[in-house]
Amino acid sequence: MTDQAPEAELDIPGKPTSASRTTLSHIMTHGDTNLLGTVHGGVIMKLVDDAAGAVAGRHSGGPAVTASMDEMAFLEPVRVGDLVHVKAQVNWTGRTSMEVGVRVLAERWNESTPATQVGSAYLVFAAVDADGKPRRVPPVIPETERDRRRYQEAQIRRTHRLARRRDIRELRERRVAEGFED
């Protein structure tokens, strides 16, 4: 069920998902808007990266840097005055990297309806040492059926990320070898 290096599981104790799960909440202001008057996507992306970074730091017990962000989805516009909640948790861990899943919810300032989901994203963080070199992370221990599903889905994304990277690298190398690009 896991593609972690066996030694990663042997001598670093695991940490449950709930130990690092984090929610970051923020009220949107006029300074956050785009030309249409709704909240700029980059403002939400920053909050997503902040929340995911806090989770990665908590889980790994030290500094962690964003290696990639994918599948950032904006489902509904966010408006000035909305209270945005960014919920993040470790979905999966490898040897030195972690996938953090993030859901973005908005409580509309002028409606009494429950918070609606307005976005989501998956980020990979690498835990690093003082020299910026990758360091080992504790294996995450999924606690609920939802955590276990997210772990399995993260493994699928991990496989696709690695395959896509390898295929693109091979294509570029082939084109250089064939003299199309230098």
Closer Cβ to ligand COA, 41 or 134, answer by number = 134
**Do the strands 116-127 and 140-141 form a parallel or antiparallel pair, or are they unpaired?**
unpaired
- The candidate with the shortest Cα–Cα distance to 33, out of 75, 80, 73, 74, is 80
Cβ-proximal residue to ligand COA, closest one: 94
Give min distance, CB of 167 to ligand COA, in A.
14
Closer Cβ to ligand COA, 148 or 165, answer by number = 165
Closer Cβ to ligand COA, 131 or 145, answer by number = 131
51 binds ligand COA (CB under 6 A): no
12 binds ligand COA (CB under 6 A): no
Give min distance, CB of 101 to ligand COA, in A.
14
CA 142 to chain centre: 16
Round to whole Å and give the CA distance between 93 and 182.
37
Closer Cβ to ligand COA, 55 or 126, answer by number = 126
User: Which one of 31-39, 40-48, 77-85, 120-128 is the stretch in contact with ligand COA (CB under 6 A)?
Assistant: 120-128
Round to whole Å and give the CA distance between 32 and 34.
7
72 binds ligand COA (CB under 6 A): no
60 binds ligand COA (CB under 6 A): no
Closer Cβ to ligand COA, 5 or 75, answer by number = 5
| Interface residue list for ligand COA (CB under 6 A) | 65-68, 94-97, 124, 126, 128, 132, 134, 161
